[in-house]
Amino acid sequence: MSTSTRTTVRTAGVAVRAMLVLTLVLGVGYTALVTVIGQLALPWQANGSVVHDAAGETVGSSLIGQSFTDASGAALPEYFQSRPSAAGDGYDAGASSGSNLGPENADLVAAIEERRAAIAELEGVAPSEIPADAVTASGSGLDPHISPAYALLQVPRVAEVRGLDEPAVQALVETHVQQRDLGYLGEPRVNVVELNLALDALR
């Protein structure tokens, strides 16, 4: 065997051994370590921030919004409604997307006006009272949050349909308002999935 051949074989052997060691250390060891740390330190977050109903059944994730509508897409009046979603047919986690339409796009403007009129009719308020997040989709199409203003706007309707005292439903909303992260990042918000679960429990 020539010197160049032996060098090539030796170099290939070193490369294969390095690949195996790095695969074990970084591909297996690191992954296992991070998984263990996640399960011990932050098990709820590490497992997808899954939320359960009163019976213990999994009903979704606090990170992904849901539509509270019937089979025809009409809003279920006994539930707080989420903001519109441009992800697939609505809140499709496999098709995360915004509308990608600019603010002057005629289709977007028409959709916003249609949504504003529908919400105004559902809530029994003037179109000018509808918050912006009630008629526009988020960038991901999966945002589980709405503004406190939109949540409070829905209180009278939810309370009436469920036969609950309006102050009790309003207090429930207020307890679910999440403040700005670290006191200054983002805006106050309400997680609709968690709010509706608490609403069912209140009933």
From CA 101, how far away is CA 94, in angstroms rounded? Answer: 20
150 and 86 housed in the same domain: yes
In a domain, 80, yes or no: yes
In a domain, 110, yes or no: no
User: C-alpha 75: how far from its chain's center?
Assistant: 18
Burial of 102 (0-12, 13-18, 19+ CB in 10 A): exposed
94 and 149 housed in the same domain: yes
From CA 132, how far away is CA 121, in angstroms rounded? Answer: 16
Give me the chain's average pLDDT, please: 91
Q: Quote the pLDDT of residue 175.
A: 97
In a domain, 170, yes or no: yes
Q: 145 near 85, Cβ under 8 Å?
A: no
pTM to 2 decimal places: 0.80
Q: Quote the pLDDT of residue 1.
A: 64
177 and 194 housed in the same domain: yes
Q: 122 near 75, Cβ under 8 Å?
A: yes
Task: Kindly indicate the confidence band of residue 149, based on its pLDDT and cuts at 50, 70 and 90.
Answer: very high
Q: pLDDT (tens digit, 9 = 90+) per residue, 179-196? A: 999 989 999 999 999 999
Model confidence at 75: pLDDT above 70: yes
190 and 149 housed in the same domain: yes
31 and 56 housed in the same domain: no
Pick the more confident residue, 33 or 123.
Answer: 123
Task: Kindly indicate the confidence band of residue 146, based on its pLDDT and cuts at 50, 70 and 90.
Answer: very high
In a domain, 26, yes or no: yes
The secondary structure of 154-166 as a DSSP string is THHHHHHHHT--H
Instruction: Count the domains in the chain.
Output: 2
In a domain, 21, yes or no: yes
> First vs last Cα of the chain: how many Å apart?
84
148 and 172 housed in the same domain: yes
From CA 29, how far away is CA 36, in angstroms rounded? Answer: 11
Q: pLDDT (tens digit, 9 = 90+) per residue, 105-120? A: 999 999 999 999 999 9
In a domain, 112, yes or no: no
For residue 57, the enclosing domain spans: 49-99+137-202
75 and 29 housed in the same domain: no
In a domain, 113, yes or no: no
